[in-house]
Structures are given as structure tokens and as C-alpha cells.
Amino acid sequence: MSKYPDTTIYTAAGASRETVQAEVPLFLPLLDAHPALTLFTRSTPGFEEVRQVFNANTTIQPLVVVSPRTEAEVSATISFCSSHSPRIPLAIRSGGHDMWGRSLVQDGVVVDLRNIKYVEISEDKSSARIGGGIMGGQLLDHLEKLGYTTPTGFCTGVGYAGWSLNGGYGVLEGKYGLGCDQILAARVVTATGEVVDTKDDPELLWALRGAGNGNFGAVVELTIKIYPQPTMLGGRLVFSLTEIQTVFTNLHELLVEEFPDEYSGDFLCAYVPGLGPIITLLYTWVQDGKDLTRARAHLEKTQAVGKVLLNDVAESKYCETPPYPIRWHLQASQPGIGKKLTRQNSSQQLRANMPPLWT
């Protein structure tokens, strides 16, 4: 059985008991009952680091961020907040990629699961038990070292639990299914602090697989399917945004004719200096065997849907970048185009230069 090291993600140590007593004394009973529990108050060094979420414009200020390392600490924190009179507002955070900031709660408690990130591989190598706070990239990094993989989201910083419980789209879905299809079991802390194992409640497992993102409790552990590392073609096919109608029409005709399970294609738009507004097809072909003849034939047909400005599709591993999972900054690989674009300036330039999509 292999286990991923469960080391802290924070550089700060959290608030001292004296700080908690001075700023948020109502949490002293929780801290005294669990002295190893890490809390961040607003004045604690590192508070802004742990509060920060993917959407940097989010201004929600929690009263306390709690960073548990065990299921028992999660249970105690949730039970404390729900039993307090009046109840203390609570939010659960894994990756923090929710664009509306629902991983945070104003003047309440954030239970930050990111330090619960272990990986334990089953003896038959068909599944893994993982901590509810692990990121997709952390999971892939560990599995890849052992010769295995599993579907994850497009960005490595997305929390695996939140991604998979909400459906879980990604580039491996054609071959292996959605993220929710990978879930075999879960351990959930309910609103009262009770820990429920889906082995004892199969109806809860049914509900979690697709609707479990925040609806039933805090998922502190998942058991998921894993697979031997496949053979893969992956990368980007870049077209001018002015060709979007032609590209989409031709691609539709191609996929009506042939839509292999091994293929996955996803689009993004951006503005790239030297190329202008572009659409990028994130091309993926995943298979078990080593012979990529069929894959290369399909790639050749896909390239013909428009005038390709950039093609870096190559044989690769799923965890490599490029091709996947993608980092948020887009960096073109041709000489003279290697400037990184932030979300903000690329979207602003794209809106300013985008042609009509359909005429």
C-alpha cells in the first residue's frame, strides 16, 4: 500500500491560544478540546494566504479559517459551529475554484480541507483512498510515479472532491467516464458532525455521485477507481477566431462521421500576441495499446477542419503540461509568442477583438 505524504500546505503556523482568546474567544472550547487544530484569525500571519481563492476578486472575509488534518477535527469543527447558539455560519473549502466564492463565508468559519490529502493505493491496484482536500494535480503526481492515472479536471489546482462530486468533466471522460463515475465509496461529515460511511448508506453514495458538492456534508475521504497509465496523444490545435464558424461546422461533420471513445476535444478562447484572437482545440486521444496509427489518422482529419496556426499535439503522459491538465496561464510555444497572459488581460483583449460568431 502506497501513501502520499500528508505534509502541510501552509508556511504559517496559525493563531496562538492567546490570539484566539483576544480576538475570537468563542472558539477557545474548540481549541482546548483539539489543541493540535490550526486556526487562522484575521490578524494571524498567513490569514490572507489561506483565505485566497481562485477568483482573486472575491472579498468575502471569514472570521476564522480552520485547517484540520484529520476526520475527527473536521467533525469537531462542524459540530461546534452547528451546536453553537446562534449557529456559526460555515463553509467547506477544498480547491476554492468556485467563481462565486462559495468556498468562503462572511464572518463565519471556513473548514479548509487542503491538508487532508493522503493517497492510499489498494493491494489490487484498482482503486485508491484519497483525502477530501487533495488537488487534482497532487493526485496525478502521485499516481503517475506509480504508473497509474485517473480522470481529473483541466486545472491542477482544482480540488478533486468538489470536481468529481459535481459531475467531473475532463479529457479522459470518453475512455473512463466522468469524475463521479470513479467514486466507489465516501466518508462524509454531516451538519451535526456525524461521520457517515457510504458502505453503510448506499443511498448516500448514489446521491453523492453528481449532486454531492455541498448538499449532504463535508466529504473527507473518497475511494476512487485508478487505471494503468495509458498511451496518449495530447496538445493544442490553434485556429484564428475569425474561422470559428468554419472550424465548428467541419468538426461537427467529422464527429458525426466518427466519434471514437478514445477522443476528447475541448475549446477555449484567448488573445495571443502575434496571433490575435484565437480558438484552441485541446486535443486528446487516450488508448491502452502503444500503436497510435489510428490516433494519428484521426488527428490528421481534425487538423483539416481549419487553418492551423499552432499544433503541439504529441505523444505524452496525462500529467504533463502541455498537454494536460492545463495551467490557467496560456503560453504559446512558437518563437515570438511566448508571453504569458493573465485571465484579466486576455479576456479584455478577447472581448475587444472578437468578431461576430455567426453571420
Write out pLDDT tens, residues 27-45.
Answer: 999 999 999 999 999 999 9
> Residue 349: pLDDT band by 50, 70, 90 thresholds?
very low
Do 23 and 86 sit in the same domain of this protein?
Answer: yes
Of 114, 137, 162, the last residue of a domain is 114
Residue 193 belongs to a domain: yes
Of 60, 83, 114, the last residue of a domain is 114
Q: Is the pLDDT of residue 320 over 80?
A: no
Do 202 and 263 sit in the same domain of this protein?
Answer: no
* DSSP, res 74: H
Do 195 and 295 sit in the same domain of this protein?
Answer: no
The whole-chain average pLDDT of the chain stands at: 87
Residue with the bigger pLDDT between 186 and 276: it is 186
Residue with the bigger pLDDT between 107 and 352: it is 107
> Residue 9: pLDDT band by 50, 70, 90 thresholds?
low
Measured distance CA(347)–CA(186) in Å, rounded = 38
Residue 187 belongs to a domain: yes
Task: State the residue range of the domain holding 187.
Answer: 119-228
Cα 254 from chain centroid (whole Å):
30
* Whether the Cβ atoms of residue 359 and residue 181 lie closer than 8 Å to each other: no
Measured distance CA(259)–CA(257) in Å, rounded = 7
> Residue 275: pLDDT band by 50, 70, 90 thresholds?
confident
Do 23 and 69 sit in the same domain of this protein?
Answer: yes
Count of the separate structural domains present in the chain? 3
DSSP secondary structure string, 89-133? Answer: PEEEESS---TT-TT--TTSEEEEGGG---EEE-TTSSEEEEETT
Measured distance CA(251)–CA(305) in Å, rounded = 6
The pLDDT value recorded for residue 302 is: 97
CATH number of the structural domain spanning residue 92: 3.30.43.10
Q: Is the pLDDT of residue 144 over 90?
A: yes
CATH number of the structural domain spanning residue 126: 3.30.465.10
Do 34 and 126 sit in the same domain of this protein?
Answer: no
Ramachandran assignment for 107, one of left (phi > 0), alpha (psi -120 to 50 degrees), beta (any other): left
142 φ/ψ angles, rounded to the nearest 5 degrees: -70, -45
C-alpha cell at 20: 484566539
Distances (CA, A) of 283 to 98, 117, 121, 286: 25, 30, 30, 10
The angle, 0 to 180 degrees and rounded to 10, between the axes of the packed helices 244-257 and 293-303 is: 140
Q: Is the pLDDT of residue 161 over 90?
A: yes
Ramachandran assignment for 274, one of left (phi > 0), alpha (psi -120 to 50 degrees), beta (any other): left
Measured distance CA(37)–CA(13) in Å, rounded = 10
Do 104 and 175 sit in the same domain of this protein?
Answer: no
* DSSP, res 44: S
> Residue 274: pLDDT band by 50, 70, 90 thresholds?
confident
Residue 63 belongs to a domain: yes
Q: Is the pLDDT of residue 325 over 90?
A: no
Do 143 and 213 sit in the same domain of this protein?
Answer: yes
Residue 11 belongs to a domain: no
Measured distance CA(179)–CA(164) in Å, rounded = 4
Amino acid residing at 313: V
Do 302 and 255 sit in the same domain of this protein?
Answer: yes
212-240: per-residue pLDDT in tens? 787 899 999 999 999 999 999 999 999 99
Do 178 and 237 sit in the same domain of this protein?
Answer: no
The pLDDT value recorded for residue 215 is: 83
Q: Is the pLDDT of residue 346 over 50?
A: no
Measured distance CA(158)–CA(150) in Å, rounded = 14
223, containing H or E segment? strand 218-225
Of 89, 114, 139, the last residue of a domain is 114
Do 252 and 296 sit in the same domain of this protein?
Answer: yes
Residue 50 belongs to a domain: yes
The pLDDT value recorded for residue 281 is: 95
Do 149 and 106 sit in the same domain of this protein?
Answer: no
The pLDDT value recorded for residue 11 is: 61
Residue 222 belongs to a domain: yes
C-alpha cell at 150: 485517473
67-123: per-residue pLDDT in tens? 999 999 999 999 999 999 999 999 999 999 988 899 999 999 999 999 999 999 999
* Strand 109-112 with 90-93, pairing: parallel
Instruction: Using a pLDDT cut of 70, give the percent of the chain over it.
Output: 85
HSE at residue 173, side-chain half, CA atoms within 13 A, is 17
Do 290 and 348 sit in the same domain of this protein?
Answer: yes
